[in-house]
Homo-oligomer: A and B are copies of this chain.
Amino acid sequence: MNDLTPLNVRNAAAQHDASLARRGCPVSDLKDRLRKSGLRPTRQRISLGWLLFAKGDRHITAESLFEEAMRARVPVSLATVYNTLHQFTEVGLLRQLAVDGSKSYFDTNVTDHHHFFVEEDDQLMDMPMEVAVGELPAAPAGMEIARVDVIVRLRRLPG
Contacts and interface: CB of A to CB of B under 8 A. Distances in A.
Interface of A: 96, 98-105, 116, 118-119, 125, 127-129, 131-137, 139-140, 142-157
A102 B156 CA distance: 26
A83 to B, nearest CB: 15
Nearest to A129: B137
A99 to B, nearest CB: 6
Contact of A155 (B96, B98, B134, B144): B144
A105 B101 CA distance: 8
A143 B131 contact: no
A150 B133 contact: yes
Contacts of A132: 133-135
